[in-house]
């Protein structure tokens, strides 16, 4: 599966679109999840679907059905760049080990200042950058929790949706 992820990532090089995940289901469904800063549109998914269909055919990759999707509004956060792209947004994290009997926390993610950068100004993925989560308590108090990605079991964006509209 790593080879397929690499192949698809290489095919999308230079498009400004990143591969988030590649899944191959037992049913024969090959699903590629893509994203970019600012999000992807349906048109982006269609364009990448056409592009990758040709690449997969040339590379003789066997699948029954194929789809390209966005990660959705509650996209998973898996690596340093995902967390950096989420700065200032509400996320939900589940820790490897509980703190005071609690593993899951939601709040606004902020960056701490201990990142290592390479020559091109990109954050080095092999460093352990610290982030902090601003957690609003029930009475409006704010608790700040520091964490590193290696302490996270899983994380995702946690948007608050309002379906009431302006006049309600």
In a domain, 162, yes or no: no
Can you tell me the mean pLDDT for 3-24?
A: 91
- Mean pLDDT score across all residues of the chain: 86
CATH number, domain of 55, equals 3.30.300.70
Is residue 42 domain-shared with residue 84, that is, in the same domain? no
Boundary residue ending a domain (69, 89, 116): 69
Residue 31 confidence (pLDDT) above 60: yes
Which has more confidence, 1 or 90? 90
What total of structural domains would you count in the chain? 2
Whether 80 is covered by a domain: the verdict is yes
Residue 122 confidence (pLDDT): 62
Does 25 have pLDDT greater than 50?
yes
103 and 153 inside one domain: yes
The verdict on residue 164 lying in a domain is no
Q: What is the CATH number of the domain that holds 104?
A: 2.30.30.100
Beta carbons of 66 and 56 less than 8 angstroms apart: yes
Asked if the structure places residue 168 within a domain, the reply is no
How would residue 117 be classed by pLDDT, with cut points 50, 70 and 90? low
Q: Are residues 8 and 33 in the same domain?
A: yes
Claim to verify: residue 59 and residue 80 sit in the same structural domain = no
Q: What's the pLDDT score for residue 126? A: 58
Select from 153, 137, 40, 53 the least CA-distant residue to 93: 153
pLDDT at position 70 is 93
Residues 24, 87: one domain? no
Q: Which of 43, 29, 31, 114 is nearest to 80 (CA)?
A: 114
Cα torsion angle, 161, 96, 124, 9, sign: negative
- State how far the Cα of 44 lies from the Cα of 55, in Å rounded to an integer: 16
pLDDT of residue 111: 81
Residue 96 scores a pLDDT above 70? yes
Question: Domain containing 124: what range?
Answer: 76-157
> How many angstroms from the chain centroid is the CA of residue 16?
15
Q: What is the mean pLDDT of residues 36-64?
A: 92
Confidence of residue 85 (pLDDT cuts 50, 70, 90): confident
Q: Where a domain ends, among 36, 69, 102?
A: 69
- Whether residues 59 and 95 share a domain: the answer is no
pLDDT category of residue 1 using cuts at 50, 70 and 90: low
Same domain, 35 and 103: no
Is pTM beyond 0.75? Reply is: no
Query: Could you tell me if residue 36 is inside a domain?
Result: yes
């Amino acid at each position: 599966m790593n080879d397929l992820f690499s192949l698809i990532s290489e095919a999308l090089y230079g498009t400004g679109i990143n591969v988030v995940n590649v899944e191959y289901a037992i049913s024969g469904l090959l699903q590629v999840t893509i994203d970019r800063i600012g999000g992807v549109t349906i048109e982006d998914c269609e364009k990448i679907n056409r592009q990758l269909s040709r690449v997969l055919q040339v590379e003789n990759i066997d699948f029954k059905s194929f789809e390209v999707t966005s990660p959705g509004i509650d996209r998973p956060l898996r690596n340093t760049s995902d967390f950096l792209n989420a700065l200032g947004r509400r996320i939900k994290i589940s820790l490897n080990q509980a703190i005071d009997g609690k593993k899951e926390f939601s709040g606004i993610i902020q960056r701490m200042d201990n990142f290592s950068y390479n020559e091109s100004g990109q954050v080095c993925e092999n460093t352990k950058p610290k982030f902090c989560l601003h957690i609003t308590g029930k009475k409006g108090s704010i608790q700040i929790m520091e964490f590193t990605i290696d302490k996270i079991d899983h994380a995702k964006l946690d948007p608050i949706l309002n379906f009431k509209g302006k006049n309600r």
